[in-house]
Structure 1
Amino acid sequence: MPGGRLTQQERQRIAAGLTDGLSYAEIARRLGRPTSTVTREVARNGGPGAYRPQQAHRATARRARRGTPAPPRTAGPAGGPAGEEDAGAEIVELAVRTGLPRMTARVHVDLLLSEDGRRTAAELVSRLRVSPASVSTAVNYLVDYGYVRRERDPLRRRDVYVVDDQAWYHSVVLNTRQTLETARAAAAVVETVGHDSPVGRRLSKAGAFLERVSLDILESADRWRDVLE
């Protein structure tokens, strides 16, 4: 497996992989590099939507000329293994690419990587080194969308946030039902503006598509729910 700095050819292959919609893990596998190398390379050079190999190569050369050494990566920000941090960072970036707010993604990933899938708000604040308000906003979002559930610890009188296998089922169902509501709202607008109007025809098609896809997803989620048990 190659070591050292990325070459310009490797950066061009990273750009091509991003254009093709490949995951960081797949790009890294094709390069024979650790996934964390690709994740850091893209993150520090504009992100997946703005990564340019030539600019990235020149920027790296400028940083090297300035002689700024990279900090040793022997542990995560809260004392966890560096490998765990790298894996978490990649999942966070993928979640952000799908539209999840970055802080929300960080909280979700930290819960996913916890041994028992449980953290208190204080633990999240300490591990992520962010404000209690940031954690509160993130966990409220995750609870609202079914990714996490809130439990009460009666002994210590504080909330515990939990992610378990069934959370995937609940989040899929909750989000799909919201899409189904959108589809049915579109159908209601069609009744108002008329089926034969340009707006009516457009919304009618969109609503029918979203409704049918949503019903398929709900049926599939119920059919495969036992995989999570």
Structure 2
Amino acid sequence: MRNRLSTHSRLTQQDRQRIAAGLADGLSYREIARRLDRPTSTITREIARNGGPGGYRPQQAHEATVRRARRGTPAPPRAATPPGGTLEQETVEMAVRAGMPRTAARVHHDLMLSKDGRRTAAELARTLNVSPAAVSVAVNYLIQQGYARRERDPQHRRDIYVIDNDAWYHSILISRRQTLETVRATMAAAETLGLDSPVGQRLAKTAAFLERVSLDMIESADRWRTLLT
């Protein structure tokens, strides 16, 4: 049984290519593992040993694994991670746990650490080793959530994606609008069901709570916005 399990958990070169494709598409480790019919721990260990989500390269990972098997020595831990890889991995994982798609989190992290907070789509695709289509989806998400904005470079006829200090303020404004939409929908449902009914009363209390929290949030953002300037 042990031999069969060991063989099953050994990744092939094709498996590693599928892992890289999954990372580029913003899939979670669990989803990648499910698609490969492997334990999530196997995928997590494979990525951590070979550059992290921002530096994983399937061909290099496969060659490194072959070399380690020939030497009979254990895989080096995070020493193989390129400079900044550990920081990126930790930052991206925190953003993913908060609900941000993985590729969007990687794009956001790269923009944050760029010198002037500006990148073209080609630069993002090259730096993160993802497809232009994946970059497009990621930046559209960031723009919709207020984390970045799009500028047009008329000289080269290309878009430039920008993150600046005001991005955090605008993301709070967008979050507030989304919360108020939820408030209106929740209150409408409460009125439809009847404000004197138990369900209607519960929904009305929920709407009142969310509205008050959103108002407090924007008041606080306005009060402390000067910290971003």
Q: TM-score range by the shorter chain?
A: 0.5 to 0.7
* Deviation, structure 1 residue 195: 0.6
Counterpart amino acid of 2:138? Answer: A
Task: Flag as ranges the 4+ runs of structure 1 deviating above 2 A.
Answer: 63-76
Counterpart amino acid of 1:176? Answer: R
Identity rate, percent:
60
Matches within 5 A, 1:31-70: 43-44=44-45, 67-70=73-76
* Deviation, structure 1 residue 66: 6.0
**2:75 alignment partner, SS class:** coil
1:103 correspondence with 2:84:
no
Instruction: Count residues with an aligned counterpart.
Output: 167
Counterpart residue number, 1:21: none
Counterpart residue number, 1:208: 208
1:112 correspondence with 2:112:
yes
**2:150 alignment partner, SS class:** strand
* Deviation, structure 1 residue 69: 2.9
Cα displacement string for residues 201-228 of structure 1 (whole angstroms, at most 9, x for unaligned residues): 1211111110000000011111111110
Q: For the structure 1 residues 72 and 202, does the alpha-carbon distance in structure 2 shift closer, same or farther, using more than 3 Å as the test?
A: closer
Counterpart residue number, 2:15: none
Cα displacement string for residues 112-154 of structure 1 (whole angstroms, at most 9, x for unaligned residues): 1111100000000001101111110000000011000000011
Counterpart residue number, 1:29: none
Counterpart amino acid of 2:87? Answer: A
* Deviation, structure 1 residue 44: 3.3
Counterpart amino acid of 2:94? Answer: L
Counterpart amino acid of 1:70? Answer: P
**1:224 alignment partner, SS class:** helix
**2:207 alignment partner, SS class:** helix
Larger proportion of helix: 2
**2:206 alignment partner, SS class:** helix
Rounded Cα–Cα distance in structure 2 between residues aligned with 1:226 and 1:95: 25
Q: What runs of 5+ residues in structure 1 fail to find an aligned partner?
A: 1-42, 48-62, 77-81
Q: What runs of 5+ residues in structure 2 fail to find an aligned partner?
A: 1-43, 49-67
**2:152 alignment partner, SS class:** strand
Q: Which has the higher contact order (CA 8 A, sep 6+)?
A: 2
When the two chains are superposed, the root-mean-square deviation of aligned CA atoms in Å is: 2.7
Asked if the contact 1:184/1:211 (under 8 Å) is kept, the reply is: no
Counterpart amino acid of 1:138? Answer: A
* Deviation, structure 1 residue 200: 0.6
Q: TM-score, normalised by structure 2?
A: 0.67
Rounded Cα–Cα distance in structure 1 between residues aligned with 2:167 and 2:104: 16
Q: TM-score, normalised by structure 1?
A: 0.67
